[in-house]
Amino acid sequence: MPHLTSARTGAATTGVRTAVGVPGYAHPLLAPAQWAELARPGAPLHWVVLNVANGPGSRPDPHCLEAAGRLRNAGVRVLGHLDASYGARPRADLVTEAHRFHDWYRVDGFLLDRCPAERTALPEVRRTVAALRGIGDRPHIVLGHGTHPHPGYAENADQLVTFAGPWSDYRWSQVAEWTADYPPDRFCHFVHGVPLGHLDEALRITRWQGAATVYLTDRTDRGGRADPWEAMPGYWDEIVSRIGTGVSEC
């Protein structure tokens, strides 16, 4: 297990601006207003994940085509959702789905969700990422571990999701010391169940732990019976106001 510490020394003073990475809302047909809101000029977004049907689906979806096109026209990076199932899915299946995402929706990269974190899985993930790098023009690759992986993963992606979970865990979380060797724009945190009154505290933790991309929501998983990421936070306007509109590229 990597050594952990409560804060990254100097991470809060790097000057890298925090922005939002959206894990993926419900299908645009079910949440049209929320997808439209993401394309609003000035929204502090690093990227938005498109998940049609736990992947790209079996054929192009017109509602997803429209949503992805609107985001691209607004200058927002769109990532295709690929489920690695903690290493259980064959590389060929993931690459096939990545090609569909690119061919149908012209995505700018991929989120490899439920990515393994242990050292033994690193060689296969490295081969998968190498194959994804050949799809499109310099695709942005995010590995969705949800925890601190073996440090070797940092050399194989543009960003790592090193926390995904509830506020009750995040507010007492620690960061792996090896992350201090990389700039904040290499890390992302997803936190659900954050009360509005703790929004500023959550953002301070994100910056202090050295993550430039974050998604905070008041939605919860309701004991594992709901997806907290599928709907926009009830305080979206407050997030936009606090983070601001000046966003540096990842």
Mean pLDDT of 93-116: 98
pLDDT of 2 over the 70 cut:
no
Q: What is the pLDDT of residues 15-67, one digit of tens each?
A: 568 999 999 999 999 999 999 999 998 899 999 999 999 999 999 999 999 99
Higher pLDDT, 111 or 8: 111
| pLDDT of res. 15 | 58
Contacts of 155 (CB under 8 A, 6+ apart): none
Give the pLDDT confidence score for residue 7 in this predicted structure. 54
Q: What is the pLDDT of residues 148-190, one digit of tens each?
A: 999 999 999 999 999 999 999 999 999 999 999 999 999 999 9
**Helix/strand/coil for 83:** strand
Residue 9 pLDDT exceeds 60? no
pLDDT of 250 > 60? The answer is no
118-151 burial, b for 16+ CB within 10 Å, e for fewer? eeebbeebeebbeebeebbeebbbbbbbbebbbb
Residue type, 4: L
> Which residues make Cβ contacts (< 8 Å) with residue 36, sequence separation at least 6?
70
pTM of the predicted protein model: 0.92
Domains, the chain, with CATH or none: 4-11+18-243 (3.20.20.80)
Distance CA 246, CA 248 (A): 7
Element (H, E) at 79: strand 78-83
